[in-house]
Each structure stands twice: as C-alpha cells, then as structure tokens.
Amino acid sequence: MTGRLAFVESPVQLLNVLEWAHARGRGPAPAAAPAPVPPAGADRAPGPDAARASAPVPDSGTAFAPASGPGTPPAASAPEPGQGRDAVPAASDDLAIVVLSPSDPMSRGQLRRMAQLARDEGFDVHWQEARAGRGALVRTLRELGGPLRAAERVIVGDPFSRYVQLLLTLFGPRHVTVVDDGTATMEFAAQLAGGERLVRWHRKGDLGPRELLLAPVTSLARRRLAPGPHRTVEIFTSLPVQAPPGTEVTENAYAWTRSRFGPPALTGGADLVGTSLVETGVVDAEHYLRVVGQLARTHGATRYFAHRRETPEKLHRIAVETGLQVVRPELPLELIARRGPVGATIVSFPSTVVHTLPLALAGTGVKVAVCEIAPEWLKATASPRAQGFLAGVVGTASGADRLTPRGGSAADRLEFG
C-alpha cells in the first residue's frame, strides 16, 4: 500500500491538493453538494471596525477528526480542545490531509471552509494546532511521526515553510509532490535547479540570526526536496516553471474547480484583486493606494477582493478613498470567481491569480488583466530581487492582458500594453 500524506498551511494549498487528487482520477464524491458560498459582497468592510468584524471569528483550537464520509458537518465532528490527538489518519491507499493551522484568523477561517469542501469530497482531514503555544511543536512532531514514516508520498504546499522543512528533516519520504502556494513555486523551481538555498523572493539577501540558526534545517530540507537515487520529486503547478533536472512538472489546469463550480453569472463591471505587497514591505503604501484608485476609475470597478494578509487599516483607506466595496473572500478567489457573480473584467496586481484565474474561468468570457509594478512604486528597503521577480510573474501570464504604467508619473496613466 502506498500512503499519501498532504501538509497544507493555507487555503490555496488545500485547493491545489484537491486539484492534484482530481488529476490522478479522484473525482468529486457523487453525493457531495457544493458548500454554500455567501454572495461576494457579503463581507463588506467600510472601516476598521467593520473590516475586523467581517473576518472569521478565531476558533477555539479544536481539532478536526477524520470524516466518516462526504458531508460531515464540521461542528458536529470537531472534538473539544485537547482531544483528537489520535485522529491523525494513518497513511493508506487514499490521501490523508493534515492542516498545519496558521495563527491569523482570516487564514484559519478560509481553511475551515476548505477543509469542509475536502470532506465533502470524501477525504480524511486532520486539523493540527501546530502553532498553539508552548509545546505545540513537540506535540505535532509526536502525533505526525507515525503517519510520516508510513507515507510513500508526501505532498507539501510550501517548501519554504519552516514547519514543513523541519518535518522533512526528521522523516525523508521516497516521493515528494510540491503544489502551488502562490508564485513562490516559480522561485522554488529556480532555486532547486540552481542548487541555491531556499529563501522567499521578497526576503533580504543577508542571513539574520534566525536564518543562521535554522540554516542546517533548511539545508537538509532542500536535499529532501531534491530528486535523487531514492527519491522522486513532482511539481504540480499552474505556473510556468522550468523543470529542474530529474524533476517531473505536472500541469494544474484547475479541472476540479471547473467541474465542481459555475459557470458564474457576470455583473458586467470590473473587480479588483488586492495584494499583500505593501504588507510584505515590497510596495510603498501611498503609491499602492493611488494606483488602486486609478484602476477603479479607469475600469469602472466597484469591488475590491482583499488578500487575506491585508491589514484592516489599509482596507479602510481603500474603501474611504476610492469608494470600492471591500470584500473578504471566504474561500480562495478561484472558487469565489468560478461560483460568481463576478465582473466581466478582473484586474489584479502581479500574483498567482493572473495565472490561475484564466484557467479556472476558461470559457466564461471573463477577461483577466494584470497591472505591472513600476520601479518607483517599490520601497527603498525592498529585496533587490523584487522587481525582476514581479516582472517575471507578469511576463509569463499568457492568459492575462497587461496594464503598463505610462506617462510622466507611473501612477498617472495605466493602459493596456
């Protein structure tokens, strides 16, 4: 028996694990029905208080027990805190999914909903409070040790995750699959091919004290994520990546999403997709706000789909200064857009969605456009690699139209290039 064990830390990672399973012949469960998705404007956030109120309420730290079948309600199956420690699914012929729960409420809320979708498809899902205070790390390693040792294939969504890297240093699987968690997959493939250390593209080049301390872990994890005589590595992606030597790259066409949701009703207007480039220290906040306003006026946008890491204060400014309706999606945007209603045009900054939305919305008539990032929008403290990486995200988005900053000031005009 060849056990398959997936570790996910974000809603997008979990979505792409479902896509991976579907691509290997695991279709939707016949009796499953799509989980209810609220109208796209239901989470309007006109101010800081409303923005906070619209975020999912932090849960109480309960763990998800494996579902007995499709449609198991999360509230009914969730044990009380401190229980469910033996609920980690043993590796088997089927796929078991472990959610290494993040700390921020937005991610947790979206993951709860994605976990229920996975249950509706008949998968075992275990909710692991991996960051729940002192002792969580040791407890997680103890609970996951057995399933990891038994797993023939491990699927990970974020090879840059310190948690995943630590798990891989302790247990080296024979087969590894990496699924997308944003455009970082492009950087991972490039670093793997070049034999470089694994570091996120927006991070500074110098090693800080924490990075130096974790350098041995990162180095060993990189070897465990590389193909070798006793290990195969697959990258399952919707992004244009060059296959590192010995690595298999499999296309993610979002076939599960298209078969499960939609097609959407179109509003006829435009929607903007937000980004966390300000929060990660890459783009200057004032430039960003000016460009969002310009895009809204130019394209007649009425809604702004917030990234889950955007701050309430920034979203408040966007709502007040641009008049846009700020929406906090309760599921990954690919599912929200596919379910609809959605604008006839979706405008985004450089991010994964300029690659994934054209696939998820194929045949619906929705046009996706990507706004390039002008050099003067970047903060002086941004990573030297930021401009080149963002330009690469835009340049390889073959399914999206390009918006190029033109004129004396980069924020003055934004036209289709």
**Each residue's pLDDT tens digit, 239-283:** 988 888 888 999 999 999 999 998 999 998 899 999 999 998 999
Q: What is the pLDDT of residue 326?
A: 97
Q: What is the pLDDT of residue 204?
A: 47
CA distance 66 to 310: 32
Q: What is the pLDDT of residue 88?
A: 52
Candidates 274, 286, 275, 273; CA nearest to 378 is 286
Least confident of 20-29, 179-188, 271-280, 369-378: 20-29
pTM above 0.95, yes or no: no
**Each residue's pLDDT tens digit, 149-183:** 888 899 998 888 878 888 877 777 889 899 988 77
Task: DSSP letter for 334, please.
Answer: H
CA within 13 Å, CB half, 390: 24
Look over the chain and give the mean of its residue pLDDT values, rounded to a whole number: 78
Phi-psi region of 272 (alpha: psi -120 to 50; beta: other; left: phi over 0): beta
The winner for highest mean pLDDT among 209-213, 230-234, 326-330, 396-400 is 326-330
Strand partners, 126: 98
CA within 13 Å, CB half, 278: 22
* More confident site: 62 or 89: 89
